[in-house]
Structure 1
Amino acid sequence: MDTLYTDDQIFIPIISDYGFKATFGNETNTLFLRKALQALIKTETPIKEVKFDKNTFEGLTQDSRSGVYDLACTDENDNHFIVEMQYGEEPYFVQRMKFYSLHKFNAMVKKGKFDYGTLTKIYCVAILANTILPYKQYHTLANLRNELGELFDEQMTFVTIELNKFELQEADCQTDLEKLIYTMKTIHTVTQPIQFPQFWNEEWLKVAIDELDSRKMTPDERASFEMVVARNAEAVKAENKKIAEIRLADKVHIVQNLLSQTDFDLEKIAKIADVTLDFVKNIQQKLNSEK
């Protein structure tokens, strides 16, 4: 998913700020959000209504550093949902998910009279454009478990979708989860209406797809969208630079440790750190000059 939007596309990508807000964040019609959440957490129980939590993550709802867009809402049973869309690289996304979930958990725990048995569930959903987890499956559900893999607690559930791992074709998509991920991964690649999958006529998907149709945009909406695209491109560029700097610093640290604590030859150190021999020599020279 190198390019999120080009001029010949009919539909705006869901995995963009504009697309995410128009679909998952559609407060006028929550049908798509409710069906999507139900599919993502793999429950047969319909979510009848959702209420958006306006102030839950004040100052955190949009992280322009890497094009991350978060949504928080609760259903009719007061179960909490946090959705994070990530199309840039995010080395510490698991820590981000824990931070969001624990922030929500702490907000639920009130001072004074309190019964932990009344705590409702928290679902933290991360939808990632890239592959990050070391698993083959594109959909991962995680709870707190013991050393035998047995369920210890399910009050907090982490849901991860890695779009790059999803390889099903249109004809193979049978479940709502498969239809959802197929739509998220391909909607912005459609250039002709004849390419529409049959299941895009299902009401919940149709609601979202209609919101993504660039042909229905007013001039003001078009201008707003183009501004968002430009801003996000700069944000992703800046974040990629930061990530590259972090990775470089990590490699420097590894090489420095190996040079000071082992008797490995320089070529072996270069191989371990996954850097060039010249990279190792330069660090060695710098360390020697500082002695």
Structure 2
Amino acid sequence: METGVYIPIISDYGFKATFGNETDSLFLRTALQALIKSDTPIREVHFDKNAFEALTIDSRSGIFDLACTDENGSQFIVEMQLGLAPHFVQRMKFYALHKFNTVVERGEFDYANLPKIYTIAILAKSILPTTHFHTIANLRSEAGEIIDTQMTFITVELAKFNKQVADIKSDLEKLVYTMKTLHTTDPTQYPAFWNEEWLKRAIDELDTRKMTPEERAYFARVTAANAEAVKAEKQKIREAVEQKEIETVTRALKRGKLTIEEIAEDSGVSVDFVLNIQRGITTNQ
């Protein structure tokens, strides 16, 4: 990901420096309150490193995970996804149900007092058939009536957010605008709300001009590691695509109903590709 003066919040380093900042949780607490649309301030959070790794990079999917609990026992899971993930809702359910099972297995609960579980997905791309950038989902009846709010799924799709600075009012809109645009914004064109304390502290953590030599070295290491993970993932995708092409061409050749040229055109590959597979089949017979 290209980086200018400010490191992107949605990068691995940026996510850790802001959402995952254990020494200063003001940004995280305010962001969580905005994401769940609560009027009640979150005054404390502690990071849960038992149920989940507090901050991890999953090179297979580009996800950054964070789990924490507030002063009332409410559980929060925050996940970031940069690439296209059409089935990300299934991953959200997996994490939420894992957390639910963890709470139940401890045996320190009754059904009337189960803690609230909020699973929050922040996605660079769109995955839902909805128009709004922020979606809150609970268990509902066929008539849309709320059945249960103990487990809540929240999705933010950055690609759907298109508000201009002049139209931004809520903390949620300020958060999403910052996540989407900070790394592309000229420092001389600050929106006024970036001077609000919760955002100012987070932005300062991402300002490359204010980084210590140790922070610069760490940022370089994380960036290099992330680049290697992306490179490895692209290679796996290429190999998977090629394997699929080989299987498709092989089936077509064995059926013997199409010409080499027709197989190449239908499979989206070159004639030489088909001929190489044909030679391999002949050799193995």
CA distance 1:120–1:183, change in 2 (3 Å): same
Deviation at 1:207, TM superposition (A): 1.0
Deviation at 1:149, TM superposition (A): 2.7
Structure 2 residue 224 is matched with structure 1 residue 230: yes
Paired with 1:170 and 1:85, the residues of 2 have a C-alpha distance of 24
Which one of the candidate residues 42, 51, 57 is aligned to 1:47? Answer: 42
Aligned pairs for 1:153-164 within 5 A: 153-164=148-159
Paired with 1:241 and 1:30, the residues of 2 have a C-alpha distance of 37
CA distance 1:113–1:68, change in 2 (3 Å): closer
* Amino acid corresponding to residue 140 of structure 2 in structure 1: R
Paired with 1:276 and 1:43, the residues of 2 have a C-alpha distance of 53
Equivalent pair of 2:54/2:66 in contact (CA under 8 Å): no
Equivalent pair of 1:61/1:70 in contact (CA under 8 Å): yes
Structure 1: state its 5+ residue gaps.
258-266
**Secondary structure, counterpart of 1:36 in structure 2:** helix
Which one of the candidate residues 128, 136, 140 is aligned to 1:133? Answer: 128
Higher RCO by CA contacts (8 Å cutoff, separation 6 or greater): 1
Which one of the candidate residues 174, 197, 207 is aligned to 1:213? Answer: 207
1:87 maps to 82
CA distance 1:113–1:216, change in 2 (3 Å): closer
Paired with 1:29 and 1:38, the residues of 2 have a C-alpha distance of 16
Deviation at 1:253, TM superposition (A): 9.0
User: Kindly, what percent of the aligned residue pairs are identical?
Assistant: 63
Q: CA RMSD in A?
A: 3.5
2:6 maps to 11
Which one of the candidate residues 34, 44, 60 is aligned to 1:65? Answer: 60
2:94 maps to 99
For these two proteins, the number of residue pairs brought into alignment is 282
Equivalent pair of 1:25/1:33 in contact (CA under 8 Å): yes
2:258 maps to none
Normalising by structure 1, report the TM-score: 0.81
Paired with 1:242 and 1:213, the residues of 2 have a C-alpha distance of 34
Paired with 1:154 and 1:251, the residues of 2 have a C-alpha distance of 46
CA distance 1:55–1:190, change in 2 (3 Å): same
CA distance 1:252–1:178, change in 2 (3 Å): farther
Deviation at 1:76, TM superposition (A): 0.8
CA deviation vs aligned residue, 1:97-119 (integer Å, no higher than 9, x gap): 11111111011003657412121
* Amino acid corresponding to residue 49 of structure 2 in structure 1: K
Deviation at 1:225, TM superposition (A): 0.5
Paired with 1:248 and 1:135, the residues of 2 have a C-alpha distance of 34
Paired with 1:113 and 1:219, the residues of 2 have a C-alpha distance of 46
Larger Rg: 2
CA deviation vs aligned residue, 1:200-224 (integer Å, no higher than 9, x gap): 0001101101111111111221111
CA distance 1:61–1:248, change in 2 (3 Å): same
Paired with 2:153 and 2:62, the residues of 1 have a C-alpha distance of 20
Range 229-238 or range 152-161, more displaced: 229-238
Normalising by structure 2, report the TM-score: 0.82
Deviation at 1:177, TM superposition (A): 0.5
Structure 2: state its 5+ residue gaps.
252-261
Equivalent pair of 2:53/2:65 in contact (CA under 8 Å): no
Aligned pairs for 1:256-271 within 5 A: none
CA deviation vs aligned residue, 1:173-217 (integer Å, no higher than 9, x gap): 1110000000001110123x2111100000110110111111111
Deviation at 1:132, TM superposition (A): 1.8
Which one of the candidate residues 177, 183, 186 is aligned to 1:182? Answer: 177
CA distance 1:168–1:57, change in 2 (3 Å): same
CA distance 1:87–1:4, change in 2 (3 Å): farther
* Amino acid corresponding to residue 68 of structure 1 in structure 2: I
1:115 maps to 110
1:264 maps to none
CA distance 1:36–1:112, change in 2 (3 Å): closer
Paired with 1:277 and 1:146, the residues of 2 have a C-alpha distance of 52
* Amino acid corresponding to residue 92 of structure 1 in structure 2: H
CA distance 1:112–1:170, change in 2 (3 Å): closer
Paired with 2:223 and 2:206, the residues of 1 have a C-alpha distance of 14
Paired with 1:79 and 1:121, the residues of 2 have a C-alpha distance of 5
**Secondary structure, counterpart of 1:209 in structure 2:** helix
CA distance 1:118–1:204, change in 2 (3 Å): same
Equivalent pair of 2:5/2:207 in contact (CA under 8 Å): yes
